[in-house]
Amino acid sequence: MDEFNQDRGFFLEKKNKLIVFSLLVFFVVLVYVIKLFSMQVIHGESFRDRAERISQRTKRIVAQRGEIYDRNATVPMVLNIDSFAVDITLGEIPRDEINTVISKLAVLLGVKKEKIEELCTPEFYRSFTPIEVKSNVPYETIAKIAEKVTDLPGVSWKSKPVRSYVDTGSLSHIIGYVGDITKEELKIYYNKGYNNNSVIGKTGIEKQYEELLRGVDGSEARTVDVKGRNITGDFIVNPPVMGKNLVLTIDKDLQLLAEKALGERMGAIVVLKPSTGEVLAMVSYPFYDSNIFTREGWNLVYQKLLADSRAPLLNRAISSSYPPASTFKVIMTTGLLEEKAIDPFKEIECKGEMVYGDRLFRCHIRRPGHGFLNMEEALGVSCDIYYWVACRENLGIEKMIDYAEDFQYGKKTGIDLPNETEGFIPTPQWKERRFHEKWLGGDTLNMSIGQGYTLASPLQVADMCAMVVNSGVIYKPHILKEVRDPVTGEVIQKIEPEVLHKSDVSEETFKTVADYMHYVVTEGSSRYPMQSKIVKIAGKSGTAEVGLDDRWHSWFIAYAPYDGPAEDAIVVSTIVEASNPWEWWAPYATSIVIQGYFGNQTYDEAVDALGFRYLIKPTQRME
């Protein structure tokens, strides 16, 4: 009986273990079934999508950059032309033929074999990822490659548009150029979708509005095997989106007029619409051809530009600072009038020179000097001694600095172009920190006539004049006028005038300053160059000393019409550097621009209307 009970207990124990094991197996199977059901039914679509993505090879389709137009928005100044890039996929080439294919491709592309070999390193021999060998390849070369395609396994090509600058010349500093992205730039722009083959704006508008111009790249996805080989003819294409088109404030005809008026003289001209801040023309000479950066061997040309002592890559209109010379007397006149520091009708005698401290200061008209002058007459003939005496004895250095800063000197204008200079307004505190010397009376005399340490760009001087025209308001200068849809042409964004600064100086003071500036060109030292009979002009000349005995910087700032509303006016700021032979050309260039603009005349027509033909040397004529 005991044996029977033992056998029964042993049997029950085995049965229980079997039941437990069966339940455990059942539970494990159930979990797997549920998991498989979840993966295949509930989340099946998600996993299929993931698997499909893993097996797809995506190829980028480069988006075309937006086009750039002048203010009339008719014909583009910058567009894209068809061009190609050639790729090589080493995984599609038999190992023993790679060297032969590279050699043949190098001959067809006109490049050194070693240049291609630098890109096609051994780690890519088994890769099916295309390597871009050369961009900016013309259609004729692609046709030759296509003829020999059977002898060039692994070689392919793709469309890669190239920037074409239709209008070059002085527009180069405004528009800028594009180039291949550098490693440093890629670190900054990588998260914005850029890669090693991206093209990016380097200077000018191309750089300033890179994100608007670049567009959105498209893609082409193909199904491939683990080695990257195509396994089906099906592919998915997401077309690229072209960048936005930009309409600039620049008037092409006025730009050409200003370019010819300046001629082959190192310097700059800025034409500004004071009531809006729109820049109608901006010329800097010398300039360069933006198209060189899309051509073969551009590196060599670029190095020559960098080595050129004339600095053709420099936009002198915004990136160079000069002593403003006697154009600064407009600011000093404003300060003297507003502060009522001196009776404007009080006469100060100019004997051509004066002694201050242990130094002799000479007016630009030496003995016997200008004689007795009131404020209007002093500005008209640009008498230094009048401003030395009036500013030193009646205005003082602190007020001089205040008014210079009120006219926004020493500050960037905020124009939508890179590399703008701030200019400079010196102070006694600055001089003591910089040179460990005290500010002297001679420094005050120098500053009162725009010499010494004071510096300003041609654009800042244009803004100074705009403040007079607008009775105390300066609008932020800008180059961009509109952003447009590249397909429909619809205006997406219009740039509205933005007040940069508003002065507390009275309107009456600005009106008097404007009257004095008109006197400069009717009765003063600039009456001969300003001979236009179609519009009344107000302006001021300046001759900046640069330490040379036979030449100086030649300045002229003007606006017209003097007797019209600000909305109808333009401001012209011109500087001709002392690096040119002395000819006092700035006022003549300014007169030509104003005559051509208001008379709707070409450069030659404006020159003849003003009677300046005798001044134009054959070497200065720009066809």
Q: What tens digit of pLDDT does each residue of 247-296 get? A: 999 999 999 999 999 999 999 999 999 999 999 999 999 999 999 988 77
Most confident listed range (48-62, 187-201, 242-256): 242-256
**d(C-alpha 103, C-alpha 576), whole Å:** 54
pLDDT value at position 608?
95
The helix/strand/coil state of 432 is helix
Task: Supply the DSSP symbol for 454.
Answer: -
Q: Which residues contact 193 (CB under 8 A, 6 or more apart)?
A: 216, 217
Q: What is the pLDDT of residues 348-361, one digit of tens each?
A: 999 999 999 888 99
**d(C-alpha 327, C-alpha 423), whole Å:** 15
Q: What is the pLDDT of residues 538-587, one digit of tens each?
A: 999 999 988 888 889 999 999 999 999 999 999 999 999 998 888 999 99
Check residues 201 and 17 and name the one with the higher pLDDT.
201
Average pLDDT along the chain: 88
Looking at 115-119, 312-316, 376-380, 482-486, which range is the least confident one? Answer: 115-119
Mean pLDDT along residues 372-393: 96
**d(C-alpha 527, C-alpha 381), whole Å:** 10
User: Residues 607, 609, 612, 617: what is their CA dihedral angle, to the nearest 10 degrees?
Assistant: 40
Look at the block and give the residue holding tokens 């420099």: 314
Cβ–Cβ < 8 Å for 161, 82:
yes
Task: Report the residue count for the chain.
Answer: 623
**d(C-alpha 271, C-alpha 462), whole Å:** 8
The helix/strand/coil state of 576 is strand
Mean pLDDT along residues 205-221: 89
How far apart, in Å, are the Cα atoms of 613 and each of 64, 602, 606? 46, 14, 10
pLDDT value at position 621?
41
Cβ–Cβ < 8 Å for 303, 497:
no
User: Sign of dihedral through CA atoms 173, 174, 179, 185?
Assistant: positive
Distant-in-sequence contacts of 190-193, Cβ < 8 A, 24+ apart:
193/217
Residue 461: is its pLDDT beyond 80?
Answer: yes
Residue 619: is its pLDDT beyond 70?
Answer: no
Question: Across the chain, which distance is largest between two alpha carbons, in Å?
Answer: 153
**d(C-alpha 426, C-alpha 448), whole Å:** 12
Q: Which amino acid is at 562?
A: Y
Look at the block and give the residue holding tokens 């013309």: 138
Specify the DSSP element, H or E, that contains 540: strand 538-544
Identify the band that residue 45 occupies on the pLDDT scale cut at 50, 70 and 90: low
Q: What is the pLDDT of residues 530-550, one digit of tens each?
A: 988 999 999 999 999 888 888
Residue 611: is its pLDDT beyond 70?
Answer: yes
Q: What is the pLDDT of residues 291-330, one digit of tens each?
A: 998 877 788 888 999 999 999 999 999 999 999 999 999 9
Cβ–Cβ < 8 Å for 244, 213:
yes
CA-based angle 268:273:275, to the nearest 5?
145
CB atoms within 10 A of CB 416: 18
Residue of 279, 260, 221 whose CA lies nearest to 58? 221
pLDDT value at position 124?
75
Q: Which residues contact 359 (CB under 8 A, 6 or more apart)?
A: 442
